[in-house]
Amino acid sequence: MTSRIKLIASEAAKQPRRATGYIAEIDGLRAIAVLLVLIHHLKAGLLDGGFIGVDIFFVISGYVVSKSLTATPVQGVGRYLSRFYARRITRILPALLVCLVVTSIATVLFIPESWLSSSIPTTGLWAFVGAANMALMNTNDGYFAPRAEFNPFTQTWSLGVEEQFYLLFPWVFLLWLGFRWNPRKRLLFLAWGVLGVLTAASFITAARFSMVEPDRAFYSVLSRFWQMGAGALLFLWHDRLADGSAGDAAPSGRARTEALLLSGFALIAVAVLICRPAQVPFPLGLVPVAGTLMVLHATGREAASGLVLARWLASAPARWLGRRSYSLYLWHWPVIVLMRWTVGLESWTLMLLAVVISLTLTLMSFHLIENPFRHSGMLKGISNRVKIGAGLLAVTISMVGSNWLFSHRSDLSLSVTGQRYDWYPLEESSGSSGGSTNHKPLQGRTIFVVGNSHAGAYIPLLKKTSQELGLRTVISNQGLCAMGLLIEPVRERTGCLEVEQAFLRQLQQEAKPGDLVFLASLRLPRFTDQWTTSLTEAELLQQQQSPKAKQLRQLGLHETAALIASLRALGLQVMVDRPKPIFRAVAFRCSDWFNRGNPACAPGFSVDRSFVEELSQPVLGQMHYLQKATPELVVWDPLPMLCPQTSCEVFRQGRPLFFDADHLSGYGNRLLYASFVETLKKVWPELDQSERMATPAAGSIKRNG
């Protein structure tokens, strides 16, 4: 086997064929792929299926990498592999590392920390080691999920898939090269069989993942290998055709080649029209892959040279864009995402600006970074092992630098949200805290806070209560299984009944009679979330009064009443919070000089108190019903403190009461502290008898603003 491999270099020189030379049309196909992706990313509605440009890239990669491996001199396995990986590093890493570092800097400066941006650092850091696709899988950020849409590193998932493909594929290809000119053709077919089996296994994996784990199907190299494998198998066939061992199997006739080209382009066009994320890479991923294979097969033959479509693919403009497609793919997405976070991307003018900036960065990247490294005379004199070592060192340094940037985000950010004391509730989402060992009025008492993210948003308030009154707090953010939601039942959701039962068991083990369970959640429909535009007041009121909303509230009321009965049976007291104001614009996205003009911020930071009260009436009616059934139920009303006037405002004296459109800020928590303590006196009368401790607490609130 080893001696056979050593003969391959000399044999390759004797094979003058187009299959191992430059095929200009491939650059034109790259241009089509990157344009599809760019248009789709600018505005999905313009080209819903434009994301299949990535599928086209995968097939091209399998084909082109096979060409590259065939053209690589084989003088031993180690030298062969080191040459391949050195070329990949020189080709991919310089532009990628610069893009990742620049994007990290821009993220730290201009993107506030929030749930919407929470997966950015992880994705960015994993992108340095070719694993951004794994990071997105682990954070459950599907390609079209909100956090992925606002993540400037999302586009690197496909590079991760390719880099993982490169780790395995050269070893498979070596087997093929070893038997390429062996007269015992059955050994060559064995090599074909290994690649064919891996490709088929990947296709089956894609089918399986698509049914049970669609995000993994979309991102995983295991479910994408078949697309690159298909391109590689096509090249192996072309190599046989060029070697004359396939007889007349090639579409050598002009008419047949033209039909193949037209069919390939038609399939790509159909894929753009019909493909949707949940059906790619399986089953609809077959359509763009088949179309790309047809185009590659047609343009890989000499008969394509004079055809109109082939001439268009090989034209100077198409080749110009295709050669720069890698840099354009790298840079267009961070530009688009950063514009989403800042000035917006809704108008044609802004979309045109995004294209201009992307092309400018593309040209800078291509001419100043990508091309110089690829064609550097100095690098040609450096050994491949040194290139690989230098590349790994550059990755390490860049990754450490970006990690430092993300770790110091609060200090470096240009956003006002860098003033974390006012903006952010403490970042813990669960856990417990207790007061000091000195005696305090509520020493020995525990409050169990359970609900959705709004329970977690009370952390500063609860922590202050713990520190000043000695109240032990246990916070449980149950997300979609938020108990006591009222506006809809949650027990019927998958796994939620088990969550409630586990919580009740926890109370049986930890709670003492007289302890308090605080059911805290958002119980109003939202104007907006962190990533979409606002609904109108009329639309929200219409939602509240719809027959379906009324039915869900009725079911939610019965469920909450049963929960309260279970808690009372354990000897526990129960408290709920009345609805707080909701707003049309997201405060943390709209409070800086670089994002106030974003169309998402146009609705503003004010809402009439009368509207909030009207919207809250159905929920307040439910609470009134519960109080009649359980007179001991305590209802805390934060609205008078948050809306003392006829208008509810996000800001008070320049400081935020809310972090986004409905979650309290750190400052909002401190403002509500006195009101919360007054409500606790209804639960524990002994607190009312401890004016000596309550008065300093109120005083501290006044000093802290």
Q: Does 340 or 276 have the greater pLDDT score?
A: 340
- Looking up tokens 């129960």, which residue turns up? 574
Average pLDDT score over residue span 440-451: 93
- Looking up tokens 């069919």, which residue turns up? 263
Tell me the CA distances in angstroms from 646 to 167, 181, 651, one per residue in order. 64, 86, 15
**What is the pTM (predicted TM-score) of this model?**
0.89
- Angle (nearest 5°) at CA 334 between 330 and 335: 110
Q: What are the domain boundaries of the chain?
A: 24-408, 416-704
CB 429 within 8 A of CB 644: no
pLDDT at site 247: 44
The closest of 599, 574, 571 to 585, measured between CA atoms, is: 599
What whole-number distance in Å separates Cα of residue 66 and Cα of residue 235?
7
Least confident range of 35-39, 67-71, 199-203: 67-71
Q: What is the pLDDT of residues 375-419, one digit of tens each?
A: 877 777 899 999 999 999 999 999 999 999 999 999 999 999 999
CB 448 within 8 A of CB 518: yes
Residue 302's pLDDT band, with cuts at 50, 70 and 90, is low
In this structure, the strands spanning 573-577 and 606-608 are unpaired
Q: Does 48 or 192 have the greater pLDDT score?
A: 48
Least confident range of 130-139, 298-307, 471-480: 298-307
pLDDT at site 697: 43
Q: What is the pLDDT of residues 178-209, one digit of tens each?
A: 666 555 555 556 667 888 999 999 999 999 99
pLDDT at site 244: 59
Average pLDDT, the chain: 88
Could you name the CATH architecture of 416-704?
Answer: 3-Layer(aba) Sandwich (3.40)
